[in-house]
Amino acid sequence: MKNYKIALTALLTSILSLTAVSTVSADISNYASWKQSGESWSSDIIGSSGETISEVGCKIVSTAIQLVRSGAVTDDSFNPGVLNAYFSSHGGYNGSGMNFTAADGYNGSDFSYEGSLKLTDTYLKDHTKELVDYYNKGLYMVM
C-alpha cells in the first residue's frame, strides 16, 4: 500500500474555518476543476458552523483535490461534499477550523497529515526553499 502524506500550508495571513452532506457523484477525473461555488456540494454545511462550502470551504475542497491527486481516493462517488460529511462525522472540525488528522487513513489508505506551516509574512520567497523541500519529499500541500 502506498504511503500518502499531506502538508497543510495556511498561505500568508489567511486562516479560514470550515463543514455538511452531499451524496451526488462526481467524476473524479475532473477533480482539478472542483470549486467551492457552483457545485452540487456548495450549499453543504461545514460541520456545525452554519456556513457552507461555498462560503468558507476552500480547505475542504483543496484537501479533497489532493486526496484524489495523491491516489488515495479513486472512487468516482468521492467529491468535496463526501469528504465534508466524513470530516463532520469523524471529528474533522473543531472550534478553530479543520482537524486534518481526521483524513488519516481515509478510504483505507496510508494517507496521513504531516503538519502545517504558517506563512505570516508577505515575502513568500523567504519560504520557497521550505515549500520545495516538502514537495521533493512527496508531500501534497493544501494552501
| Cα 86 to Cα 99: distance, rounded to the nearest angstrom | 12
* Exposure on the CB side of residue 69, measured as CA atoms within 13 A: 17
| Highest mean pLDDT of the ranges 36-40, 86-90, 109-113 | 36-40
Q: Running DSSP on this structure, what letter comes out for residue 36? A: S
Apex 134 CA angle, 130 and 136, nearest 5: 110
- The per-residue pLDDT for 38 is 94
Inform me whether the pLDDT recorded for 106 exceeds 60.
yes
111 pLDDT tier (thresholds 50, 70, 90):
confident
- The per-residue pLDDT for 64 is 92
Sign of the Cα pseudo-torsion (53, 58, 60, 61, in order) = positive
What pTM value is reported for the model? 0.74
| Cα 3 to Cα 10: distance, rounded to the nearest angstrom | 23
Inform me whether the pLDDT recorded for 24 exceeds 50.
no
Helix, strand, coil shares, percent, the chain, to 5: 35, 15, 45
- The per-residue pLDDT for 27 is 62
Cα 129 versus chain centre, distance: 23
